[in-house]
Amino acid sequence: MLNRVIGILMLAAALAASAAAPTRNIAPTPAGPTAPTYGVRLEKTWIPMKDGVRLAVTLYMPTGAKPAERFPALLEYLPYRKDDDEAVRDYGTHSYFARRGYVGARVDIRGFGNSQGTPPDREYSAQEQSDGDEVIAWLARQPWSNGNVGMLGISWGGFNSIQMALRKPPALKAILAVAATEELFKEDVHYIDGVFHVDEFELTMDLDQGRSGAPDFSLKESVIGPRMDSTPWSLTYMKHQRDGAFWRAPLRPIETLQVPAFLIGGLQDGYRDSIPRMLEQVKAPLKAWIGPWNHGFPNGSDYGPMVEWHDQAVRWFDYWLKGRDTGVLSDPRVIIYQQHWHPPESQPQDIPGEWRAESWPPAGLTPTTLYLQPDHRLSSDAADSGRDLLRYTPSAGVEAGFWWGELLTDQRPVDAYSLTYDSEPLGEELAILGLPKVTLRVAADAPLADWFVRLSDVAPDGRVTMVTGAGINGAQRKSMSEPEDLTPGKVFPLSLDLHLASWVFPKGHRIRIAVSNALWPMNWPTPYPMTTSLLLGGAAASRIILPRVPVHGPKAPAFAAPEPIEAPAGIKGIGGGAWPGEWTVLRDEARQRSTVVWKGSTAVSYPWGRFDHTEQLTYDIEDAHPDTARVRGDSEYIQAANNHVLTWRGRLDVSSDARTFFYKYTRTLLRDGAVIRTKTWAEPIPRDHQ
C-alpha cells in the first residue's frame, strides 16, 4: 500500500490527442457515453503464455450484441485473487462496463489466484510485464474484439497500467489509473520518503504468495510447492535500501508516455504526488481528478464527498477505444477538491470544501515564503540568525499516521517532540494548492538522522489539524541512490517538497511548521541517540514556500452521485475490514518504551465455505536505544472448503541493531489443524544508511 505539476495548453493537448487517437468517425457534436444496453455473462478461461504457463482470466461478456458487433477489452491485471478476495469488487466494476459494450478481462498474474506458474520474485516484475504484453495481444485478437484494449485499476492495477502503457503495446489505446504512482522507491510503501517502512501490506503479500486458487485450493505439490517456497517479497525489498536499478527496472521514463491516461487520486492517499508530476512531464493526452479521498475509488472512499466515476470512465474509453466523440478533450485538464478547515478527526466523514477546474500549475498561483524565526514564529519577514536544538525522541510520531495519507487526530502530542513555528493569526483566508517547498539548514551530532516536516492548521481553540508533510533521509540529502553518512556537527542544507496539499486556512487560524527527527511507526528510526540543530536566518534561511492560490477557483462541472453497485450472488461479507483496523498505543514510562499494536480482521461467506482473515502488527521501541527497534507481524487465513479447513499462517519478525537488520519470516500451511508444509527465511541484512 501514493510531487509535481502541469502546464500544457488545452490546444496542445487536443492536437496531441488527435495525433494519438485511433481512426474514427467523429460526430459533429459530443455524444453521451454508451448506454447500458447489454446483459452480462461471465466466462472463465485461460490465456496461454509462450512458455506454456496459462493465466486465468474471467471475461465479463456483453450479451445481446448484434451478429457483427465487436467490443474493446478493458484489462485489470492483478495478484489480488479474482475468484475470491476481489470477486465482489470485480463484479461491480466489470459488469458496469460490460453492460455498456466492453469486455472486462480480469486476469490473475502468474503464480497468484488461479493462474499457473511460480509467483514472480517481486512486484511489477519483468515476468509480469512480459506476460502483460501477451495478455493484451491475446485480447486484441479474439473474435469478439474490435482490436482495441484499455487498462484500468487502483493501486497495483494503477501502477501496472502506467507501466504497461510505457511499454507501448500496439493494442493498448488508453488507461485509467487510480491511486497509483510511477515512483517506486520513495513513494511506495517500502521506503516512504526514502526511509524504511513496514506495514500490513508485507503481511498480506508474503502470505498470499503461498495460497492456491479458489474454489479448489489445490494441495498438489506442483501447485502449492512453488508458492509456499517462493521467497517473501519483504526480504527482497530489505536488500534494496537505496534507490537505483532495482527500483527503476519496472519503469521507462515517464515523459515517454504516449498512451492517453485518465488519472484519479486522493488528497488522503499516499500516492497523490504522481498526478501533478505526470501532468508536468507527460505530453500524451491526460485528464486528472484529485478528490478528498483516501486509498479507494471516488465512490468508495472513507472520506467524501464521494462521486460516481464509472460514467466518466465510459466517456474516456468510448473516445479512445470506440471512436465516439464524447467531448473528453474539452473537459478540464484537472478537477481538484479545495479542502476547507475541519477539526482533527480520523473517522470517516465528508470533508468541507469545493471543486475547482484547473490548469496546472493552478491559475493565480503566487509562491509565498514564510521564514522560521528564532522566537518560533513563522513570518514573511527575514529571520534573524539563531539555532534551535531538538533532542531526538525515537518514539514520537504515532499521531502523524502510518503514511502520508488518511485523516489524523490532533497533532499536539507529536508537536510536543518537535520544533514548532507558528504564524500570527491570519487576517484573511489563505488557500494553498500544490506542493509546499521547504529548505532547512541543519546539523546532527550523529552520522545518521532523518528529518520530517509537517504543515498544520492551528485553530483558535488550540486544536491542530495536519495539512501535509514529508520526510527526508539525511544520508540521501544529495542522492537517493548514493547515500552518505553525515559529518557530526557539520551544517548542511536540506530541500524537500511536502506532499500535494489542498487547504484553506481560515481567518484567525495560524499556520504551523513542525520539524522532528522521528515519525514512528511510519518510519524506522535511525539508530543513534542524538541532538539535532536547526539554523535560522542568513543567506539560505530555513523557510517554507507555500503554493498560494485564490480562495475560489474556476468552478468544476457537477459530478454524478454514486450509483448502486451490482454484486454477485452467493458471496456475503460477515464483518470486519482489515484496514484501517484498530490501533492501541502502550507506554512504559519507567523504561521509556513505547508499543503500538495494530489489528485488522475480515470474514466472508462464499458458496464453498467461510473465509476468515486476521492480522496483527506490534511495533516496539525504546527511546534510549532506537537501534533495537522491532516489529512483529502475524497474518492468518482460515478457509473452509471441500470438507476441510485450510489455514495459512505468516509470521514476520524484523529487528535491528546499529549496523544490521535481523529478518525472519515463516510461512505455514495446515490442513484440519495439522501442519503439512512450513518454511522459514532468516538472515541478517546490513543497514544501508537507514
Residue with cell 502541469: 6
Residue with cell 523504561: 591
Say how far apart CA 469 and CA 403 lie, in whole Å: 10
pLDDT at 583: 87
Say how far apart CA 404 and CA 577 lie, in whole Å: 21
Q: Are 647 and 667 in contact (CB under 8 A)?
A: no
pLDDT at 575: 74
Of 654, 614, 611, the closest CA to residue 632 belongs to 654
Q: Angle at the Cα of 676 (from 670 to 677), degrees rounded to 5?
A: 100
CB atoms within 10 A of CB 46: 14
The residues that bridge with 599 in the sheet, in sequence order, are 582, 616
Q: Are 515 and 452 in contact (CB under 8 A)?
A: yes
- Report residue 386 as a C-alpha cell: 539563531
pTM listed for this prediction:
0.94
Q: Which amino acid makes up residue 391?
A: R
Say how far apart CA 319 and CA 92 lie, in whole Å: 22
DSSP secondary structure of 105-150: EEEEPTTSTT--SPPPSSTT-HHHHHHHHHHHHHHHTSTTEEEEEE
Torsions phi, psi for 236 (to 5 deg): -60, -45
CB atoms within 10 A of CB 616: 18
Give tens-digit pLDDT for 193-245.
Answer: 999 999 999 999 999 999 999 999 999 999 999 999 999 999 999 999 999 99
217: left (phi over 0), alpha (psi -120 to 50) or beta: left
Q: Which amino acid makes up residue 555?
A: K
Element (H, E) at 226: helix 221-228
pLDDT at 31: 83
Determine the angle formed by the axes of helices 156-167 and 126-140, rounding to 10 degrees.
Answer: 70
If DSSP codes are grouped into helix, strand and coil, which group holds residue 678? strand
Residues in CB range of 623: below 8 A, 6 or more apart: 393, 394, 395, 592, 593, 594
Residue 305, preceding peptide bond in cis (omega within 30° of 0): yes
CB atoms within 10 A of CB 67: 4
Q: Are 639 and 609 in contact (CB under 8 A)?
A: yes
Half-sphere exposure of 547 (CA within 13 A, CB side): 23
Q: How many helices (H) and strands (E) does the chain have?
A: 11, 34
pLDDT at 576: 67
- CA-based end-to-end distance of the chain: 20
Domain boundary assignment for the chain = 10-194+243-358, 196-238+572-606+608-690, 366-549
Of 680, 652, 661, the closest CA to residue 202 belongs to 652
Fold exhibited by the domain 10-194+243-358: Rossmann fold (3.40.50)
Say how far apart CA 505 and CA 428 lie, in whole Å: 9
Low-confidence ranges of the chain (pLDDT < 70): 1-29, 576-580
Say how far apart CA 108 and CA 112 lie, in whole Å: 6
pLDDT at 577: 65
CA distances from 352 to 64, 294, 347, 388, 501 (A): 44, 15, 14, 36, 15
Q: Are 98 and 43 in contact (CB under 8 A)?
A: no
The CATH classification number of 366-549 equals 2.60.120.260
